[in-house]
Amino acid sequence: MNLPTLYTKRLIIRPLAVSDAEDMYEYAKTNLVGPKAGWAPHINLNETFTILRNMVLFKPQYELGNWAIVDKNTNKMIGTIELYNYIPNFKAELGYALNPAYWGQGLVTEAGLKVLEFGFDNLELKRIEAGTFLDNYQSQRVCEKLGMTREGVQRNGYIRYDGVIFDKVVYGITVEEYRDFIKNH
């Protein structure tokens, strides 16, 4: 499946491209993004390019692919968002990363709502879930703003790139909960 381009008030959410390497490296090299999402900070632009190329060209089974979150005003790629662990007509997991220069503006929530809409309306999913580290309060707040329910903590639920094991907070939203959330917000 080819990912569509989605639009919000402030964002273009389009398929990720290898040409996004410089914009991605800008935030992927920091300790503020990758470790909170489970991946190592990128060492150099070449590493980012290789990772991006693999993300774009080699889509594993049950992966829909990654979208670039693009600022409409500047056309700058400022983050990524994805639905992964996709099971057709059933469920998927939501993941996202954002350049710290754009934190605190509600942009991941804006992109996330559009991706939830796509998942429920176009893919006919019954459930979308997300997992965050126990100490990643920003990501947990995004899940809450998306109308997701905190369902529990998976003890030792995630092993990070460096072998450190973390508890993982699990959030979820069903299609019925999503429809009620949208109707009331």
**What is the reported pTM?**
0.96
As beta bridge partners, residue 171 has 130, 150
- For 119-133, the pLDDT digits (tens) are 999 999 999 999 999
The per-residue pLDDT for 2 is: 86
Report which residue type is found at 164. V
- Joined together, the tokens standing for residue 120 give 């429920």
**What number of residues does the chain have?**
185
Region class of 68: left (phi > 0), else alpha (psi between -120 and 50), else beta: beta
Q: Are strands 149-159 and 165-174 parallel, antiparallel or unpaired?
A: antiparallel
Selected from 1.10.645.10, 3.40.630.30, 3.40.640.10, 3.10.580.10, the CATH number assigned to the domain covering 6-184 reads: 3.40.630.30
- For 138-157, the pLDDT digits (tens) are 999 999 999 999 999 999 99
**126 secondary structure, DSSP code:** S
Give the whole-angstrom CA distance, residue 122 versus residue 150. 25
